[in-house]
Chain A
Amino acid sequence: MTGTVENDSYTTDEMMTVAASRELRDGVVCFVGIGLPSEAANLARATHAPDCFLVYESGTLGAKPDVLPLSIGDGVLAEHADSVVSVPEVFNYWLQAGRVDVGFLGAAQIDRFGNINTTVIGPYGDPKVRLPGAGGAPEIAASAKEVIVMLRHSPRAFVEELSFVTSVGYRHGGDSRDELGYSGGGPTVIITDLGILRPDPETKEFVLYALHPGVSVDDVREATGWDLGVADELQTTGLPTNEELRVLRELRWRTEQARGGQRA
């Protein structure tokens, strides 16, 4: 999969991953969820942020996977890690202690204040869809200095009201999060396959900050279940560079090879 990549030929998922990876500054301590966040974090590590320190909730500190893990506890995470600690230790001594700069989360549903649902669709006692649940997310949302959220844009995901609040963003907006006593600052950005949302500094309501190339404001508003505001100076996300696409596709290719090559 090496060779020249034309940067006008990329998927919306690739744009999302690239945009998310750019949010990760070099040298930060990043607590990574599995799936999209893990892909973006590892793209960042392989491009502009070689010294970002990846922490996975399975207890791997300074993980350097050369292929993307399928689960949060894959062997590849421990293999090249700086340290491997127990689960209580990673949550207590690392996350709760304030050693994590950036938490990287996915979501099933998100609201205008960046609150996240990964528990249930419909009433809790009689659910329409039972989702996996909280995992490490509530405490990542509470204690990471900032949180990056990544999910695909759709009216089912970007909702007016969550069925269940699993992890807190800016709660009811304004300074209502501050009353909870959390050390973390809350979500600073939502990256989707259509664009980038950032919170208004006062109301803390997420507004459209940037469109990915080829996407219109109407596209994003149609895919959002609340009346989405738009930033005064709307940006356009920079196209994925050849280098970003090459590294991302190589990472995916190596991952597929590794998964296909495992004992079945």
Chain B
Amino acid sequence: MSESGRPSKVMGLGDAVAEMVRDGDSVALEGFTHLIPSAAAHEIIRQEKKHLTLIRMTPDLIYDQMLGMGCAGKLVFSWGGNPGVGSLHRFRDAIENGWPNLLEIEEHSHAGMANRYAAGASNLPFAVLRGYVGTDLPKVTSTIRPITCPFTGEELMAVPALNPDVAIIHAQQADRRGNVALWGITGIQKEAALAAKRVIVTVEEIVDEFVARPFGIVIPSVAVDAISVEPGGSHPSYADGYYDRDNAFYAAWDPIARDRDRFRAWMERHVLGVETFSEHLRSIERAEALR
């Protein structure tokens, strides 16, 4: 029990994912380059979750991994690449060849996705923006529709709210009452958390009290359902104040993911073959794991 008498939200990540992520759910794991919830993605893979609608503005390595392991039936996104390196090969193989399963895609721009989360967090049915007009995106994405402003008559574009069944984010700290602190680039995490029905947060550590930091945000405990302590939990992404981005890992991922067999073998050894993310981090410490 917490100080307030409410049941503690702190639990093991395995339990949090088992309890809150169900087959067929829509799940958003957000983090804009910074604070990517990698530990939770590995737990989803280990628990063999299936038929998920995976949502993320910038699907990157963890989405490559979840797609390649067959966790998803659908992907909602706005930019899918390995930043600074090139393609996401599992993402491409899924879309180009339907491997390991057919993948439905729902494709937006960043502005569209950001506004969809903001509408979801506001309990509105849709968001409006100036964009998409004249591009081919409305032709291939049915969730982009024109709308006329009732006040000025201006033609705008509407996109429906995103209300994921589950949002998962990684933060630097939680306090003893279950509030969550993030600082540095905080991306879309607040909106994703407030738009979702259930919220899992992994944190670097639990502290007695937060220290005020420029550009920091706090997500209050009432908007969080589960907190799991996962030090290093956003590797190979970074956690401002804790560790740097592992750029070498992003580069090393390219040849691993390029080949189906090599990808499977790597996942079996370093994700399925371990029980926790800490164990995963130890298993890839040896340099040969990246070759």
Q: Is A143 an interface residue (CB 8 A)?
A: yes
Which of B57, B92, B135, B240 is A165 in contact with, Cβ under 8 Å?
B135
Query: Does A135 contact B84, Cβ atoms closer than 8 Å?
Result: no
Query: Does A75 contact B238, Cβ atoms closer than 8 Å?
Result: yes
Query: Does B250 contact A70, Cβ atoms closer than 8 Å?
Result: yes
Chain A residue with the shortest CB-CB distance to B243: A263
Query: Does B83 contact A72, Cβ atoms closer than 8 Å?
Result: yes
Size of the A side of the interface (Cβ < 8 Å), in residues, is: 56
Q: Is B34 an interface residue (CB 8 A)?
A: yes
Which of A88, A171, A180 is B114 in contact with, Cβ under 8 Å?
A88
Query: Does A96 contact B95, Cβ atoms closer than 8 Å?
Result: no
Query: Does A135 contact B129, Cβ atoms closer than 8 Å?
Result: no
Which of A75, A119, A124, A136 is B34 in contact with, Cβ under 8 Å?
A75
Which of B88, B109, B131 is A135 in contact with, Cβ under 8 Å?
B109
Report the tally of A-B residue pairs with Cβ distances under 8 A: 186
Query: Does A78 contact B187, Cβ atoms closer than 8 Å?
Result: no
Tell me the dominant secondary structure on chain B's binding face: loop
Which of the four size classes fits the interface of chain B?
35 or more
Q: Is B265 an interface residue (CB 8 A)?
A: no
Which of A70, A88, A183 is B115 in contact with, Cβ under 8 Å?
A88
Given the interface contacts A71-B33, A84-B185, A86-B191, does A262 sit within 8 Å of B246 by beta carbon? yes
Q: Is B80 an interface residue (CB 8 A)?
A: yes
Q: Is B188 an interface residue (CB 8 A)?
A: yes
Query: Does A138 contact B250, Cβ atoms closer than 8 Å?
Result: no
Query: Does A84 contact B81, Cβ atoms closer than 8 Å?
Result: no
Given the interface contacts A58-B187, A142-B131, A168-B134, does A91 sit within 8 Å of B111 by beta carbon? yes
Query: Does A58 contact B131, Cβ atoms closer than 8 Å?
Result: no
Q: Is A238 an interface residue (CB 8 A)?
A: no
**Min C-beta distance of B31 to chain A, whole Å:** 9
7 inter-chain pairs at a CB distance below 8 angstroms, sorted by A residue, are: A130-B87, A134-B107, A135-B109, A138-B137, A139-B129, A164-B136, A262-B246
Listed in ascending order, the chain A residues whose CB lies under 8 Å from chain B are 34-35, 57-60, 69-75, 77-78, 83-88, 91-92, 95-96, 119, 124, 127-130, 132-139, 142-143, 164-168, 171, 177, 180-183, 259, 262-264
